[in-house]
Amino acid sequence: MAKKKVINAGSSFVSPAKSIEDSELKDELEGSFLEYAYSVITDRALVDARDGLKPVHRRILYSMFNSGLTPEKAYVKAAKVVGDVMGNYHPHGDSSIYGSLVGISQDFNLMLPLADGKGNWGSPDDGPAAARYTEVRLDSNAMLLAGELKEDVVETSYNYDGTLLMPDVMPVQFPNTLINGQSGIAVGMATKMPTHNPSEVMEAARWLLTHPNANLDKLMEFVPGPDFPTGGIIIGVDQIREAYQSGRGSFKIRGLVEIEQGDRGKSNVVITELPYGIGAEKIIAKAVEAVKNQKLLGVADIKNLSDRRQGTRIVFVVKAGVNPNAVVNALYSMTDLETTFGVNNTVLVDGQPKTLGLKDLLQIFIDHRIDVVMRRSLFRRDKRQTRLHLVEGLLKALIDIDKVIAIVRNAADADTAKTGLIKQFKVDEVQADYILSIQLRRLTKFDQIELSAERNRLKAEIAALTDIIDNDSVLRKLVGEELTAVKKLIDRPRASLILGGNIAEHIEEAKTVAQSMTLEVEDAAVEVALFSDGSIRRVEANTKLKAFSKGGKLSTLVDTIPARTRGKVVLVSNKGKAFRVDALHISDKAVDAKSVVSLDKGERIIALAPIADTSADPNSTSGVGFFFATKNGTVKITNPDYPVRGDEFEMISISAGDEIVTARWLEQAVGAEVAILSTDSSLLRFPADKIRPQGRSGAGIAGIKLAEGASVLAATVLSALEVEKAVVVTSTGLSTKVSPFNAYPPKGRATGGVRSHRFVKGEEALTGAGIVVNPVAVDSSGAKIELPSVDSRRDNAGTKMEATISFVGCG
């Protein structure tokens, strides 16, 4: 075995026997490597679970805080900060320190940047300017990490040369470990933690503080998944839960893409958000290479219009007649527009590396925060007790100020004066020294009143602090209140969208969609269908469509309209908004309408309308317009006067407290019938031509006269052919009835209608209803319900049913 000679360099001259030690090379290498590995793990690459900071980040923040580089102060050269950190706390080279300073300054890197940089601090594609050109100071977020350091709230240790003290951990006021994430490579291990939304994490921390036994599913109600400062779409809730459970997992991130109408029949695929850590130039470079290799077809031009004012905007100009959705799928598969984020929550806990899940990371922050608030309360109480002691001594002396003056005047020296004060006023040495240090002009009657008020205030503050220290519930309540206050300071909306389900399902779905699309398309006749679950689908003309089951829930057919592959259709939501979209943007598989148009919370697509001849006039259409009916009994037919500009517009003005019950495209009013059914079982039928069409800004007219407490439950407009085939389905929850529509006599608009369902004991109102051809009824779980036979007696009671109808659609 080879041996290594080790020379003792600790003395300038030693005897040969003491200067050389024999050591096995294997043992020496093992020992030295273990020391190096331990140093990298604990002092360089991994973050502390309590404050989410690596040592270099902690030392940068402390050095800047100690130097007074707070947010209200002027910027200083970054090179000065780097030099101070390297000279006082972190002797590991200026490049690594500046790189770390840059990292905590970039708003595309951290959810809450900790340093406020001035100058060129880089981008996802480019590095920053040199430290001599940039300036920096602490961000307000950093003050929430370091602001309490002066109150002895954390343990400290000496720096590398033993001359200065520095904190072992920061007294963070928010879970920086989760909110800002971190990555690092140590020896034999690594860490990679995603960023999270500050508001969501703070809410989860507050909940866990008051509910220590909360399970992961409850915490995920507050933190549904990561959130990245660059936005994007996160795919894979199942994988996110796995990462939150075990501390390891992975999920997909996609850039956000919009499709816009371009010039001369072309479309633009516009990327407005990129996956975390991916730059625009990287996407463009791979796309250009794919175009040159003829793997990415249909792209006429690529423009990078991104800037600091409008953010990311990468435009792919798609050739006329090419399906832009196919280009989008190609970009997902051929570039980094879709990436995988591998989660590895390895952090230091009491100096030991551990891999932790969401709950453990939150609990460690809470425990740390409780310890900080306890130490802060002890520090503040000690400070106030010291001050109270001095004030009480001074008040004793002020009782007889003449004696104080006489003792001081007659004393031979300060020690004699101090002894005299101790003996005369029963004060201790500390109080006596303080009395002697006070200026005579402060020993007035006014100051005595001030001191008495100060004594009372100090006693009250000491009592309150003692209550915090001695009472765990009071301590936790204070921590919770401070978390609430901090949440308001760092509150911000979610930037990343989360799609549920399994990654494999989304990948397979994307492949299916991509295979169903060809880049070059013919202008063929198609139909667009809308289903009750809000999904839409494009099929070949004359395709027989029917209800389908998805995830155990039955989805019935709501409407179909004709279109052309190179044409457009109009989608209408329950909030009265219309969206003009290309038919090619709609998949030939049933997909959620949210994947085609952007909808607000609670908004869903409820109706479709055709646009007749898009080649001659992009705004032309056949038919009378949209029929609307609202909960409060208003009806309206909206003229199809689509605006020339803009693909999103209002179709009806809705009054406060009202909402749309139904919307349907009306081809012609002659022979068509309007049917309105209210919760008190009144059904009104009148000709559709009694409604005069209005413009898009109109609010409609009265449709049915409602009884007090009643509201519209179902409404429709039936063509002359549908009038003959339609039936009326009514359900009270206890009984269900099916009657022919023609059994109800027509009446005038704005009247009360006739009774459609006779209530028996226990029945007070209709809970489910529909006026359709070929009805299909489902319960709340989505299961199909067999309906009773048609009852020709319109005013009869219903048939008792075990299941409760929640929706009636068309089969």
pLDDT in tens, 142-159: 999 999 999 999 999 999
Q: How far apart are the first and last CA of the chain?
A: 85
Q: Where are the domains of the chain?
A: 3-40, 46-172, 194-252+341-354+493-519, 256-336, 362-490
- Its CATH class, for the domain covering 362-490, is mainly alpha
* Residue 417, C-beta contacts closer than 8 angstroms, at least 6 positions apart: 407, 408, 411, 436
Average pLDDT, stretch 386-400?
90
Average pLDDT, stretch 77-100?
93
* Residue 512, C-beta contacts closer than 8 angstroms, at least 6 positions apart: 589
Tokens representing 746 are: 């027509």
CB 597 within 8 A of CB 522: no
pLDDT at 520 exceeding the cut of 70: no
Band of residue 523 on the pLDDT scale cut at 50, 70, 90? confident
CB 145 within 8 A of CB 114: yes
Report how far apart, in Å, the C-alpha atoms of 783 and of each of 592, 593, 605 are.
20, 22, 22
pLDDT of residue 518: 42
- Burial annotation 518-533 (CB, 10 A radius, 16+ → b, else e): ebeeeeeebbbbbbbb
pLDDT digits (tens, 9 = 90+) for 117-144: 999 999 888 899 999 999 999 999 999 9
In CATH, what number does 46-172 get? Answer: 3.90.199.10
Per CATH, 46-172 and 194-252+341-354+493-519 having the same topology is answered yes
Average pLDDT, stretch 98-114?
95
CA-wise closest residue to 306 among 235, 265, 234, 255: 255
Fold of 256-336: Gyrase A; domain 2 (3.30.1360)
pLDDT of residue 492: 92
CB 98 within 8 A of CB 78: yes
pLDDT of residue 611: 80
pLDDT at 412 exceeding the cut of 80: yes
Q: Across-strand partners of 727?
A: 740, 772
Tokens representing 476 are: 């936790």
Q: Across-strand partners of 775?
A: 810
pLDDT of residue 319: 81
* Residue whose structure tokens are 């995830």: 551
pLDDT digits (tens, 9 = 90+) for 542-556: 888 777 777 677 788
CA-wise closest residue to 170 among 324, 257, 63: 63
pLDDT of residue 143: 96
Band of residue 449 on the pLDDT scale cut at 50, 70, 90? confident
Roughly what angle, to the nearest 10 degrees, separates helices 358-398 and 414-425?
90
pLDDT of residue 541: 85
CA-wise closest residue to 767 among 798, 811, 789, 810: 798
pLDDT of residue 581: 84
Query: Average pLDDT over the chain, rounded to whole?
Result: 86
Band of residue 507 on the pLDDT scale cut at 50, 70, 90? very low
Taking the C-alpha atoms of residue 30 and residue 233, their distance in angstroms, rounded to an integer, is 46
Average pLDDT, stretch 380-397?
93
Average pLDDT, stretch 353-357?
93
As a whole-number percent, the residues of the chain with pLDDT over 90 amount to 56
pLDDT at 4 exceeding the cut of 50: no
pLDDT of residue 616: 41
Per the model's pLDDT, the better-predicted residue between 262 and 703 turns out to be 703
Tokens representing 576 are: 């009265």
pLDDT at 285 exceeding the cut of 60: yes
CB 633 within 8 A of CB 677: no
Q: What is the pTM of this model?
A: 0.61
The CA-based angle 638-643-649, given to 5 degrees, is 70
pLDDT of residue 202: 96
Superfamily of domain 194-252+341-354+493-519: Topoisomerase II, domain 5 (3.90.199.10)
pLDDT of residue 755: 95
Asked which of 471-475, 505-509, 739-743 is least confident by mean pLDDT, the reply is 505-509
pLDDT of residue 171: 96
pLDDT at 40 exceeding the cut of 80: no
Catalytic residue (choose from 62, 75, 98, 133): 133
Band of residue 703 on the pLDDT scale cut at 50, 70, 90? very high
Taking the C-alpha atoms of residue 652 and residue 690, their distance in angstroms, rounded to an integer, is 18
CA-wise closest residue to 391 among 442, 341, 354: 442
* Residue whose structure tokens are 């007749």: 612
- Burial annotation 345-370 (CB, 10 A radius, 16+ → b, else e): bbbbeeeebebbbbbbbbbbbbebbb
Catalytic, 744? Answer: no
- Side chain identity at 306, as an amino acid letter? S
Tokens representing 138 are: 């602490």
Taking the C-alpha atoms of residue 333 and residue 793, their distance in angstroms, rounded to an integer, is 61
